[in-house]
A = this chain, B = another copy of it.
Amino acid sequence: MFSTTCQYAIRAILYLALNTDDNHKIGADVLSEELEMPKHFLAKILQQLTKSGFVSSSKGRNGGFYLSDKDKASNLLEIIYVIDGPSRFENCILGLKECSGKTPCPYHSDVQTFRRDFKSKLQNETIFESAKRIAENNLTLNINH
C-alpha cells in the first residue's frame, strides 16, 4: 500500500508528535535508532517534510527535528501525498488504466469501499489526535517501545 519511504515518514511523524514540541527536539541520529530506520535515509525524508512544511527543524548544536503545534494540526493524508502522491489510493488494484464505477475491474467495489473509509480516517484525524489515540490505546510505532 505505502512505499517504504512513506512508511518511515508516517512512523517518524507520529513519533515526533508523541515526543517533541517547540522545546523538545530530537536528532535524526537518535530517531533512526528508536525507530530502527537507516539514518541517512530517514534524514532525507525528514528534510523533505521540513521543506514541505510538515516538520520543523533547527540546525547547529542542540538542533533537531520536532513538530510545532501548527505541524500537529496537519493530517497524515497530506504527508502521504507529499511522499507517495495520491496514486496509492487511486490506482486500480489490478493495474487497469481505466477502472471506475462505470468500468470497474472485478475487485473495484471491494477495494473502493475500504480506500474511501481509510482515506477519510487519515484525512479527518489530525496528527495531534492520532498521537493522542496512540498514547491512550498503547499502540506501537516500533516493537521495542
Contact = CB atoms under 8 A, between A and B. Distances in A.
Contact of A8 (B95, B97, B114, B139): B95
Interface stretch (A26-34, A46-54, A65-73, A98-106): A98-106
What does DSSP make chain A's interface, helix, strand, loop or mixed?
loop
A44 interface: no
A140 B10 contact: no
Interface size class, chain A = 35 or more
Interface in A113-145: 114, 117-118, 121, 130, 133-134, 139-143
A78 B140 CA distance: 32
Contacts of A106: 14, 130, 133-134, 139, 141
